[in-house]
């Protein structure tokens, strides 16, 4: 009988953990130059058991992270360099977060979430995800870096898709370390920015904003309480999808209360198609991650419009999907 195509995802957890362990142990970082290294050298650098690391390295070779030059000599590949913490295109923190033990346990409890409709993260960890990350400095740092890595990859498409130069001040709500806001400000030298997030989210903001610091105000706060007034555009990237409808509407109503008559809300979100197909697999996985991890959801265009309407906002335009991403820019203004 032919091999079932379902076998590949069924055993996909193995590949995920091979890559995660490499990221967690800093294997790529142990290649301090372009010289191939033996398992013993890498084990000494990473504080690991050399025979076991050798077996992991063979697994990494099968995934194209390293290349086996000789039976016990391995070289880091171009893709493998993305697991280095200092790589400009690093994905190390993303992998440490999404393949790490807490997300791992949360996805492992998906059956109970589907039975009950109650998201798994709080059931598994005893805290909401944002309480959890705020309470653990190391996990908070990993989360913040992972979000910055993802934002770095989509920022060029966002900047190119919308005329941010039409505004005087842009507020990035829930903007973390400021990676997106910094990209927007660099592209528009006459623009001012406000970076708004919980204190834990802002912990590393001074780095990404260093070269635009004279035009960027960092404001700690909670968008469930209020958001800064006076901005011409309020950007929310991957914020609304974190929350169920009632909480998402609360954020949008607070934006509505802070907006002037000509201000805009810009939602940077993926948009779920009404009918999914194999090419929709990415957004469907994201939706399931929201189901188990936060209680949020990925929404269709109609669902976004309904949510915005309920908050006193109306859609002006929708652009997307943006180049090489699944993101859309949904622009809304105060409803008449």
Q: Which residues are catalytic, by number? A: 241
The structure tokens listed for 288 are 């399931």
Return left, alpha or beta for 195; rule: phi > 0 is left, psi -120 to 50 is alpha, else beta: beta
Dihedral sign of CA atoms 105, 111, 112, 113 in order: positive
Return the H-helix or E-strand segment holding 237: strand 233-237
* 3-state DSSP of 65-124: CEEEEECCEEEECCCHHHHCCCCCCCCHHHHHHHCCHHHHHHHHCHHHHHHHCCCHHHHH
* 3-state DSSP of 134-169: HHCHHHHHHHHHHHHHHHHHHHHHHHHHCCHHHCCE
Cβ partners under 8 Å of residue 198, min gap 6: 130, 134, 220, 221, 222
């Amino acid at each position: 009988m032919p091999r079932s195509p379902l076998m590949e995802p069924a055993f996909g957890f193995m590949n995920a953990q091979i890559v995660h362990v490499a990221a967690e142990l800093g294997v790529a970082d142990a290649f301090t130059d372009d010289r191939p290294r033996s398992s013993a050298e890498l084990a000494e650098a990473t504080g690991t058991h050399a025979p076991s690391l050798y077996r992991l390295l063979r697994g990494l070779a099968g995934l194209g992270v390293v290349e086996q030059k000789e039976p016990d000599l391995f070289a880091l590949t171009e893709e493998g360099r993305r697991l280095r913490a200092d790589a400009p295109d690093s994905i190390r923190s993303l992998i440490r977060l999404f393949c790490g033990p807490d997300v791992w346990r949360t996805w492992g409890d998906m059956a109970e979430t589907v039975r009950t409709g109650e998201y798994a993260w709080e059931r598994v960890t005893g805290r909401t995800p944002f309480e959890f990350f705020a309470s653990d400095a190391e996990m908070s740092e990993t989360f913040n870096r992972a979000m910055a890595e993802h934002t770095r990859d989509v920022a060029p498409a966002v900047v190119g898709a919308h005329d941010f130069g039409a505004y005087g001040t842009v507020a990035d709500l829930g903007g973390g370390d400021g990676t997106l806001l910094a990209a927007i400000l660099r592209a528009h030298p006459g623009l001012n920015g406000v970076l708004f997030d919980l204190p834990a989210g802002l912990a590393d903001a001074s780095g990404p904003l260093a070269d635009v610091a004279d035009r960027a105000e960092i404001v700690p706060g909670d968008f469930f309480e209020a958001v800064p007034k006076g901005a011409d555009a309020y950007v929310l990237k991957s914020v609304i999808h974190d929350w169920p409808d009632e909480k998402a509407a609360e954020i949008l109503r607070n934006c509505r209360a802070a907006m002037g008559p000509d201000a805009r809300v810009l939602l940077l979100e993926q948009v779920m198609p009404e009918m999914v197909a194999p090419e929709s697999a990415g957004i469907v996985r994201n939706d399931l991650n929201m189901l188990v991890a936060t209680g949020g959801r990925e929404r269709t265009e109609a669902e976004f419009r309904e949510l915005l309407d309920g908050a006193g906002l109306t859609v002006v335009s929708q652009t997307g999907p943006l180049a090489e991403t699944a993101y859309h820019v949904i622009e809304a203004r105060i409803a008449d």
